[in-house]
Amino acid sequence: MDKKWFKEAIVYQIYPFSYSDYNGDGIGDIKGILSKLDYIKDLGVNAIWFSPLYDSPNYDYGYDVRDYLKISPTFGTMNDFKTLIDEIHKRGMKIIMDTVFNHTSSEHYWFKEAIKDEKSEYRKYYIFRKGIRKGNKLLPPNNWTSIFTGSAWERVEGEDNFYLHLFDKHQPDLNWDNPEVRNEIKEIFKYYCDLGVDGFRMDVFNLFSKVEGLPDDDAKFSKGRKYYIDGPKIHEYLHELYTDVFSKYDLLVVGESFNPSEENKMKYVDKNSGEINMIFDFSHLNADSRFGVYYLHKKFNLVEFKNNLVNSQMINYENGWATLVLENHDQPRSISRFGFDLDNYHYEAATMMAASTFLGFGVPFIYQGEEIGMTNTNFKSIDEYRDPVTHFVYNSFIKKLPLSYKGKLRMLNHGARDNARVPMQWDNSLYAGFSDFEPWMRLSDDLKYNVENDLKSDKSIYHFYQKLLSIKRNNKTAIYGDILDLCPLDKKVFAYKRSYKGNMLLVISNFTDKKIVYNLKEDLASYTYCTLLSNYLDVSISNGSISLNPYQTIIIEPLKEYSYGSVIYRKNGSGEIEYLLEKMGLGHTSIPKGHIEANETIEECVKREIREELSLEINLDMNFSHLITYSPSKGILKDVTFYVSTITGGDIKVDNKEVIDTVWLKYEEAINALTYESDKEVLEDANNYLTKEL
């Protein structure tokens, strides 16, 4: 399997309106984001995706672009954006921009010129058609309906012509059949690539191509979709973008698809198609809703959730790449949706969902606030909602239902995108640390779930994410392994196996608020496992029988031992290295066999010795040796003193903490990058790497 950076990406999404307000106007901005980059980097991600930062009148909060080459004054300036690119790159992260090319804003220069004059060349940039006269009425050109509101057509004032808008009337659709439009779009992509942007998310990309003639649709609902979803020339247009732009840069390109067919899902991301790297597949997030409509709530169906999640990974494994997502700016908060007992198990549920999702095959996309377990908001009035889609759904559908006002709001709230768009919660101050001024939209109800509180907590979701993402970054099986659902029909447990080059990783999660037992099948029960991570301190595995606490997740792998000389060592998937010392001699420190208690395995003995803070000096018989202190309070391999051998055979003690930390990280990077097919090569390569760094 070929290796490219996008395959090892871990992406953090920022919704700029709601992340951090620097200038005190109650709206997030670029300088606010700049102030939080270290927080994002420390989480363990290596790329940041920004919802649109372009100039926009904000009818759809940035997804209606007025000028693609200008940064919205709400967020800052183009110089601020260039600074953002530089600062992200300085921290070793990549930057991904959102692009919106199915439509523009009705205030875009192209559209304003188009409606000025019927003969304008810019009219060909959009989709205009004459209306149909029936008696005294002028009807739209066809019966297509908008995804957002009513008819998909809006009449041009003073004319018999209409323009197509699959979304809001302020978002006229571009005419991708016009090569001039495609050339304009390619130049915009190139402009941002040359600025240093590393990737793009393409909004509703599979709607770009429409069937010629725009015929009427005989569907009962959502008319027109069969004529514009996965349209006739979509693959041609994507391949053109790939050939002329994407292939000339080292990019991550991810598409937001709208109800694509299974065949097209695979073709878009097939490495041989020359189109895009991956698409978002949200089918697993329909497991709590009817007909894929989030407002129509149903009891969470775990079987549906995991089958759709795993299937989207399996179909892409050989030739494409997958995405792993629970939340974004269009999704309600996942932790609130699926019926979990948050009063008693908020930390456990949030961490269980993260582990279950992000260790699959594909690129994790983490939405702001997900890493601290932000929840849905209890909006008290329709006036508190900001999303125009929420208002359309309420006025055209929910408002007419025979429910109480509270019942209507409860139904609306379950699917409202506004839940994801409330301001990020940083601390316990008046406006949750988001701003010193009243925010542009109301805050969440659960303000206790903020960064300040989480980082201080013994049950920190952020700290769990750090460990989880360390596994995702460093364990090649977690990146490149195939995936197999171990119990696809189980209604309580989600368990899957990742396999790669003879290595194996198991992720097992209890989706209930009860203690349960999960039994591994015979072929897996025979292994001895080491635990890489769990959201509980106690992990009970005996003869393939695993006891799981409420919402417990465990990540385990078969124990492997490697030896070099008298040193026996184990490497686990999070990048930590556990050393065992058998009886040695030559003055080496060892764990005497007498230390192993009755009925105690070597692994259990080592864990016990670690708890007793045993320090071991290990001589690798090469150019250096180091003293490793196992500290249960600080974690394994945190306190390290290096002794570097000189040419004369003497030792130079390095005890400067900053130098030690830096060198140790370099050493860990070297170890993590190796495949462990030859243990001697591992130590030699790591030693050579470290020697160069020293």
Task: Provide the phi-psi class of 109: left if phi over 0, else alpha when psi is between -120 and 50, else beta.
Answer: alpha
Catalytic residue list contains 661 = no
pLDDT for position 645: 32
How far is Cα 255 from Cα 202, in angstroms, rounded to an integer? Answer: 5
pLDDT for position 678: 44
Q: How far is residue 264 CA from its own chain's centroid?
A: 22
User: Would the pLDDT of 658 be above 90?
Assistant: no
What's the average model confidence in pLDDT over 628-640? Answer: 30
Interhelix angle 179-195/234-244, nearest 10 degrees: 40
pLDDT for position 612: 45
Predicted TM-score of the model (pTM):
0.83
| Beta-carbon-side half-sphere exposure of residue 227 (alpha carbons within 13 Å) | 19
What's the average model confidence in pLDDT over 45-68? Answer: 98
Asked if 209 contacts 232 with a C-beta cutoff of 8 angstroms, the reply is yes
How far is Cα 355 from Cα 58, in angstroms, rounded to an integer? Answer: 35
pLDDT band at 577; cut points 50, 70, 90:
very low
pLDDT for position 139: 96
How far is Cα 484 from Cα 522, in angstroms, rounded to an integer? Answer: 16
Active-site residue identified among 29, 55, 168, 256: 256
Domains and CATH numbers, the chain: 5-102+179-375+445-462 (3.20.20.80), 109-164 (3.90.400.10), 475-558 (2.60.40.1180), 565-693 (no CATH)
- The three-state DSSP-derived secondary structure of 361-388 is CCEEEEECCHHHCCCCCCCCCHHHCCCH
Give pLDDT tens digits for 183-192.
999 999 999 9
DSSP-derived 3-state class of residue 255: strand
pLDDT for position 688: 58
The pLDDT mean for the chain works out to: 85
pLDDT for position 644: 34
Percentage of the chain modeled with pLDDT above 90: 74
pLDDT for position 558: 87
pLDDT for position 430: 93
**Range with the poorest average pLDDT among 56-60, 175-179, 677-681:** 677-681
Catalytic residue list contains 203 = yes
pLDDT for position 629: 29
**Range with the poorest average pLDDT among 188-192, 399-403, 494-498:** 399-403
pLDDT for position 649: 36
Active-site residue identified among 21, 98, 168, 203: 203
Tokens of 67: 């000028």
How far is Cα 499 from Cα 440, in angstroms, rounded to an integer? Answer: 47
Q: In 3D, which of 164, 48, 170, 144 has the Cα closest to residue 98? A: 48
How far is Cα 218 from Cα 221, in angstroms, rounded to an integer? Answer: 9
Q: In 3D, which of 480, 345, 552, 412 has the Cα closest to residue 1? A: 480
Distances (CA, A) of 96 to 71, 80, 85, 504: 15, 16, 10, 32
| Beta-carbon-side half-sphere exposure of residue 547 (alpha carbons within 13 Å) | 8
pLDDT band at 650; cut points 50, 70, 90:
very low
Give pLDDT tens digits for 302-340.
999 999 999 999 999 988 999 999 999 999 999 999 999
Long-range pairs, 446-450, Cβ under 8 A, ≥24: 446/374, 446/375, 449/346, 449/372, 449/373, 449/374, 449/375, 449/425, 450/372, 450/425, 450/426
Q: What is the CA radius of gyration of the chain?
A: 28
What's the average model confidence in pLDDT over 109-121? Answer: 97
Q: In 3D, which of 671, 466, 509 has the Cα closest to residue 577? A: 671
| Sign of the dihedral through C-alpha 21, 23, 29, 31 | negative
pLDDT band at 560; cut points 50, 70, 90:
low
How far is Cα 278 from Cα 379, in angstroms, rounded to an integer? Answer: 35
CB atoms within 10 A of CB 533: 21
pLDDT for position 1: 62
Q: In 3D, which of 335, 309, 336 has the Cα closest to residue 324? A: 309
Give pLDDT tens digits for 155-205.
999 999 999 999 999 999 999 999 999 999 999 999 999 999 999 999 999
**Range with the poorest average pLDDT among 24-38, 264-278, 383-397, 584-598:** 584-598
Tokens of 418: 């506004």
List the alpha helices (DSSP H) in 109-178: 109-116
pLDDT band at 148; cut points 50, 70, 90:
confident
How far is Cα 530 from Cα 514, in angstroms, rounded to an integer? Answer: 24
What's the average model confidence in pLDDT over 676-694? Answer: 49
What's the average model confidence in pLDDT over 291-309? Answer: 92
How far is Cα 332 from Cα 352, in angstroms, rounded to an integer? Answer: 18
User: Would the pLDDT of 252 be above 90?
Assistant: yes
pLDDT for position 528: 86
Asked if 426 contacts 450 with a C-beta cutoff of 8 angstroms, the reply is yes
Q: Which amino acid is at 265?
A: K
How far is Cα 254 from Cα 99, in angstroms, rounded to an integer? Answer: 10
State the distance between the two ends of the chain, measured CA to CA, in whole angstroms.
Answer: 34
pLDDT band at 471; cut points 50, 70, 90:
very high
Task: Provide the phi-psi class of 224: left if phi over 0, else alpha when psi is between -120 and 50, else beta.
Answer: left
Q: How far is residue 683 CA from its own chain's centroid?
A: 34
Distances (CA, A) of 259 to 179, 226, 227, 229: 26, 10, 13, 7
Tokens of 540: 């009970």
564 backbone dihedrals φ, ψ, rounded to 5°: -140, 110
What's the average model confidence in pLDDT over 640-653? Answer: 35
pLDDT for position 559: 75
Give pLDDT tens digits for 356-374.
999 999 999 999 999 999 9
User: Would the pLDDT of 607 be above 70?
Assistant: no
Quick one: which H or E segment has residue 485? Answer: strand 482-485
What's the average model confidence in pLDDT over 215-222? Answer: 93
pLDDT band at 687; cut points 50, 70, 90:
low
**Higher pLDDT residue, 263 or 593?**
263
pLDDT band at 150; cut points 50, 70, 90:
confident
Residue with tokens 């041009």: 156
Give pLDDT tens digits for 85-105.
999 999 999 999 999 999 999
Asked if 244 contacts 274 with a C-beta cutoff of 8 angstroms, the reply is no
Percentage of the chain modeled with pLDDT above 70: 80
Kindly compute the dihedral angle of the four CA atoms of residues 687, 688, 689, 694, in this order, to the nearest 10 degrees: 90
